[in-house]
Amino acid sequence: MRRLGLALLTVSLCAGLARAEDTTELCAEAAARYKEMFGREAASEPVKTILMYKYRFCPDVVSAPKGSKLRYVNVDKRTSHSVWLRNDGRPESERVFSGGVIDVDADLDEGEHEVLCGPHWESDGMKARLIITR
């Protein structure tokens, strides 16, 4: 009985790990694309810069002080993306293609917000979390 319990625990832990997607490699690729396209590192931009690449946001969890500015940049080759704070009642941004930039005001309530890509959140799970701090 104890062995069965342990087996079940192992199975559920593995399932949990499988759900928590590792975007490290994909996001490293996105960062390299940004550098190639803009000639500098996204991480060294004065505005917090989030990349949109292969149906993912990089990074997919961002925290930002209330009222700050965020910049979302499409570093894909052919796919258009958008930024949609749907649960906050905001309209979807325009859908931008390669090199396109979407500026977002983080004038949101403190706490966690869901960021969606309009064309891909349902079909590909292109979503991110934005944590607004004081």
* Binding site residues, Cu ion, CB under 5 A: 81, 117, 120, 126
* Cα gap 9→6, rounded to integer Å: 5
Q: Minimum distance between the CB of residue 1 and Cu ion, rounded to whole angstroms? A: 48
Burial of 67: CB neighbours in 10 Å, binned 0-12, 13-18, 19+? exposed
- Name which of 87 and 110 has its Cβ closer to Cu ion: 87
- Name which of 67 and 100 has its Cβ closer to Cu ion: 100
- Name which of 48 and 120 has its Cβ closer to Cu ion: 120
Q: Minimum distance between the CB of residue 106 and Cu ion, rounded to whole angstroms? A: 20
* CA distances (Å), origin 30, targets 57, 65, 74: 9, 24, 9
Helix, strand, coil percentages for the chain (3-state, nearest 5): 30, 30, 35
Q: Minimum distance between the CB of residue 16 and Cu ion, rounded to whole angstroms? A: 26
Q: What are phi and psi of 74, to 5 degrees?
A: -85, 115
- Name which of 44 and 85 has its Cβ closer to Cu ion: 85
- Tokens at 126, concatenated: 């292109």
Single-letter amino acid, residue 125:
G
Q: Minimum distance between the CB of residue 34 and Cu ion, rounded to whole angstroms? A: 16
